[in-house]
Amino acid sequence: MTQESASASGTEDVLISVEGRTGRIRLNRPKAIHALTHDMCSAMIAALTGWATDESIDLVMIDHAEGRGFCAGGDIRMLAESAAADGAAARAFFHEEYRLNHLLFTYAKPTIAFMDGITMGGGVGISQPCAIRIVTDRTVYAMPETGIGLFTDVGGGWYLSRMPGRTGHYVGLTGARLNGAECLATALGTHYVAADDVEALKTAILGNPRAIDAALRSAVTAVPPAPILDRKADIDRLFASDRYEDILAALAADGGEWALATLKTLETKSPQTCKVVLRLLAEAARIDDFAIEMAMEYAVAARVIARPDFVEGVRALIVDKDGAPRWNPATAAAVEESDIDAIFAPLPSAEAWTPLPNA
């Protein structure tokens, strides 16, 4: 029996329900590929908080109601409009979203996310904390933020820094899109299921969440080759440095077709936020508390949206769609280390991010 309830904020953009002994969260903004809003994050927090102490709930399932992707990210237009003004709404969104990310990361009950279709940005933030992460032949995973003057947030520093070798640095800098097999090979996913079998798996889990392991064993299928593994040696060699200029120089010096194509890709990204990503991953690799990670990322987000590249990147790629962002600074060499230091400086305590009480 399904008991569907209105979300805490009254939004219909996320459907909150209880199906048997499973709490279910279904993203429901198909025209926006389920991009997250502040209200959606609040609704999910309210549901998860209630289910955490509800003895009738054994499992939480996160998926999408319809459409071609799980979640394409956050409400970028709103964020850019806010950033162009005082940034208050953007900071409030990040604060709430990061609380949701942290709540899922520390959640006491089993969680499962279906990364079926497009899973980017904010979609990464709500899927990667889940214990079980289903990927399929339709999965398209990416953290493309450097292309709009943003950075790999929502816990991206934590997840990317823990990918094999330097693959996370490559993915974070270039915005490379990974398929389901590549997600499984790099531990971004835990189970590979054919897209045509996803609904049957959901039905089996909803019918008996306590038998989820058996359902997963029955659903997984043969995994195709993961192309990123064929490039791992090149990635580890060419992306070895935490200094962005070194990576650009290594790609240019290599001169191979793949290296030059990758260099051309990087030349379209914000030099400032590429340096931010490298610093973020270096810092995150040394952090052992996800709350500390999110506090750092929030401080970085608050600083980055106040700088020119974010509004300009959104203008070029999403608003005007001319594909010609004018980055400021325009080159990696022009980005001073003191600028990056300022972006990573802790916020005053009254402005800093905090997790939910008891989370």
Q: Decide if 122 is catalytic.
A: yes
Is beta strand 111-115 parallel, antiparallel or unpaired with respect to 118-120?
unpaired
Distances in Å between the Cα of 180 and the Cα atoms of 135, 171, 226 are 5, 14, 8
Residue 92 CB neighbour total at 10 angstroms: 12
Distances in Å between the Cα of 170 and the Cα atoms of 238, 240, 251 are 9, 10, 12
Q: Decide if 137 is catalytic.
A: no
Query: Which candidate in 153, 182, 297, 309 is catalytic?
Result: 153
Return the structure tokens found at 43.
Answer: 């609704």
Return the structure tokens found at 276.
Answer: 């931010």
Query: Which candidate in 145, 182, 297, 309 is catalytic?
Result: 145
Bond into 329 cis (ω within 30): yes
Closest Cα to residue 30, out of 72, 61, 60, 62? Answer: 72
**Residue 26 CB contacts under 8 Å (≥ 6 apart), including other chains:** 14, 15, 17, 62, 63, 64, 65
Q: Decide if 50 is catalytic.
A: no
Q: Decide if 74 is catalytic.
A: yes
Query: Which candidate in 23, 74, 168, 172 is catalytic?
Result: 74
Q: Which residues are catalytic?
A: 74, 122, 145, 153
